[in-house]
Amino acid sequence: MDRASRTPGRGRRVWAGALVSALALTLAGAGQASAADVNNAKNAGFESGLSNWTCSANSGTTVSSPVHGGTAALRATPSGQDNARCSQTVAVKPNSTYRLSGWVQGGYAYLGVTGTGGTDVSTWTPDSGSWKQLSTSFTTGSSTTSVTVYTHGWYGQSAYYVDDVSVLGPDGGGGGDQEPTVPAVPGGLAVSGTTSSSVSLTWNAVSGATGYTVYRDGTKVTAVTGTSATVTGLAAATSYSFRVAATNAAGESATSAAVTARTADGGDGGGRDLPRHAVTGYWQNFNNGAAVQKISDVPDQYDIIAVAFADATATPGAVTFNLDTAGLNGYTVDQFKADVRAKQAAGKKVIISVGGEKGTVAVNDSASATNFANSVYALMQEYGFDGVDIDLENGLNATYMTQALRSLSAKAGPSMILTMAPQTIDMQSTSGSYFRTALNVKDILTVVNMQYYNSGSMLGCDGKVYSQGSVDFLTALACIQLEGGLDPSQVGLGLPASTRGAGSGYVSPSVVNNALDCLTKGTNCGTFKPSRTYPDLRGAMTWSTNWDATAGNAWSNAVGPHVHNLP
């Protein structure tokens, strides 16, 4: 999708030098704990409020949610002139190595130590929607008997949370918290629900556990902090065996007794509460000359509204979303969230789109896949998004994007909307990474809205070359997806809303409607006519609702009713 005139992002990269320096210190080898090591931090889980901790400018408090372990955690809120530094003096032994660790969530969070008598160290993480462990190590000097352990956020940024801090090493003589022991095996594992592609499980809480690992047929499939989980990505009408184990900092318990669940019969794809035929429109979170809109301005003809775009962060694979309030005439985050809720109350789906023409999100390994899933899920929780759109136009790795999307689905559950907007070249063959990704996640995929523009000429499913801008181009290229393994309900036609919406490939709404008729009913075809019809075809997509509004909503007024009246 084209956002060439977009206002440059106002990210957090101004601190890159400081953050890289902190990260470099993290990479120093962490010391190995011995059997005699103890946690020298006091009130490490904040179960006794802020006892033993001091927070700058009254920035800290304890909360009961979210917590990593126990019943409390620290919440510290930076301000414009204060980074919400909370610290504790910890007794240590001279000439000794200690491992410093803690669990953090929320805004930018730093963990470090000063007064070591050697090299003071720190580690950090950018925004995190789920608990993440920070860890580093330090060695005390020959006369060092105490150090100051601290955590802080960043000036004017979001509140951060800290729990289960540990200064693990030789006993410094000042007392501390007892290290946890491996938790007991969870009991009461039961199946609480099934669909054609998912199984929901519950179990009893285990004292001292900070999380739980779910296994399907002996393979780890998800990890959660609560006592329930939904395992997605399953085949319909299939039996599976599940077990669960409890975890904490000391390790993982043995697995529970197994339960067996059989998924229901059903068809492919997610978003089953969408209309049988749906219209998708991209909404621009920037001003590039198209009509500036609020979410509430998007016409009712659009069933799925894809908010463009989430932005990459400094963390590989992770994304964030920053509403362009200035570029959108003062549109506030609170108004945006309220408008999202109103659209959903009207039966619409609002999702966050990742990528675009200039998107730089890269998911190339397991760590970045986890970061992607965690960050997208955090955006879904914060803004109420129903799911995610994958519009990565600079390539993707099928293996790790599949891993990321399955992890996200496991967090979000079976109601998650998952759409994709590949370019035409990406869907020419099932061996391509985009096509393979779509097939890999077919059981949780809502729709692929391929971009039939900015393409030139391409091969159709009959091996002939077709030029963009015609009914034949749309139908012969859609045929590749329809015969290549996607369900017809997972295929949509993506077109520009006006001549200004793309560099090339615009067709009038009547051509879009003719292509829809050709594919679903076998009528109004050009020279290419599919060997069969696909009455379950999902519908159509446009870039963008803003360009549509600029042209008087001519696209949605013509294509929308036609899609909704398909057989």
Q: State the catalytic residue, choosing from 179, 252, 393, 483.
A: 393
Separation of alpha carbons 524 and 89, rounded Å: 78
In this structure, what are the phi and psi dihedrals at residue 18, rounded to the nearest 5 degrees? -65, -40
- The reply to whether 247 falls in a domain is yes
Based on the residue annotation, tell me whether 47 is a catalytic residue of this protein. no
- Indicate if 155 and 232 belong to the same structural domain: no
Question: Domain holding 435: CATH number?
Answer: 3.20.20.80
- Indicate if 325 and 440 belong to the same structural domain: yes
Tokens describing residue 327? 């570029």
| CB neighbours of residue 8 within 10 Å | 6
Three-class secondary structure assignment of 419-446 = EECCEHHHHCCCCCHHHHHHHHCHHHCC
pTM for the model stands at 0.57
- The reply to whether 519 falls in a domain is no
Q: Which residues of 170-256 form beta strands (DSSP E)? A: 190-194, 199-202, 211-216, 219-224, 228-231, 239-248, 251-252
- The reply to whether 21 falls in a domain is yes
Q: Quick: pLDDT tens for 247-302.
A: 987 789 999 999 988 776 554 455 557 898 999 999 999 999 999 999 999 999 99
- Indicate if 422 and 289 belong to the same structural domain: yes
- The reply to whether 334 falls in a domain is yes
Last residue of a domain, one of 139, 169, 199: 169
- Indicate if 254 and 341 belong to the same structural domain: no
- Indicate if 296 and 445 belong to the same structural domain: yes
- Indicate if 40 and 152 belong to the same structural domain: yes
- The reply to whether 342 falls in a domain is yes
- Indicate if 341 and 409 belong to the same structural domain: yes
What is the domain count for the chain?
Answer: 3
Question: Domain holding 248: CATH number?
Answer: 2.60.40.10
What is the identity of the amino acid at 412?
Answer: A
Separation of alpha carbons 144 and 541, rounded Å: 65
- The reply to whether 57 falls in a domain is yes
Tokens describing residue 450? 């391929």
Tokens describing residue 184? 């007991």
Q: Which helix (H) or strand (E) holds 564?
A: helix 554-564
Written as tens digits, the pLDDT of the chain (567 aa) is 655 433 323 232 233 333 333 333 333 333 444 546 889 999 999 988 999 999 999 999 999 899 988 788 999 999 878 999 999 999 999 999 999 999 999 999 999 999 999 999 999 998 888 899 999 999 999 999 999 999 999 887 899 999 999 999 999 988 766 656 788 999 999 888 777 778 889 999 988 888 899 999 999 999 888 889 888 878 777 788 999 999 987 789 999 999 988 776 554 455 557 898 999 999 999 999 999 999 999 999 999 999 999 989 999 999 999 999 999 999 999 999 999 999 999 999 999 999 866 667 889 999 999 999 999 999 999 999 999 999 987 778 999 999 999 999 999 888 899 999 999 999 999 989 999 999 999 989 999 999 999 988 999 999 999 999 999 999 999 999 999 999 999 999 999 999 999 999 999 999 999 999 999 999 999 999 999 999 999 999 999 999 999 999 999 999 999 999 998
What is the identity of the amino acid at 260?
Answer: T
Separation of alpha carbons 420 and 390, rounded Å: 5
- Indicate if 226 and 149 belong to the same structural domain: no
The region that residue 427 occupies, defined by phi over 0 for left and psi between -120 and 50 for alpha, beta otherwise, is alpha
Question: Domain holding 160: CATH number?
Answer: 2.60.120.260
| CB neighbours of residue 527 within 10 Å | 11
- Indicate if 138 and 215 belong to the same structural domain: no
- Indicate if 306 and 347 belong to the same structural domain: yes
Q: Terminus-to-terminus CA distance in the chain, angstroms?
A: 30
- The reply to whether 425 falls in a domain is yes
- Indicate if 331 and 445 belong to the same structural domain: yes
- Indicate if 348 and 413 belong to the same structural domain: yes
Separation of alpha carbons 268 and 536, rounded Å: 12
Report the half-sphere exposure of 323 (CA within 13 A, side-chain side): 19
- The reply to whether 139 falls in a domain is yes
Domain span at residue 208 reads 190-262
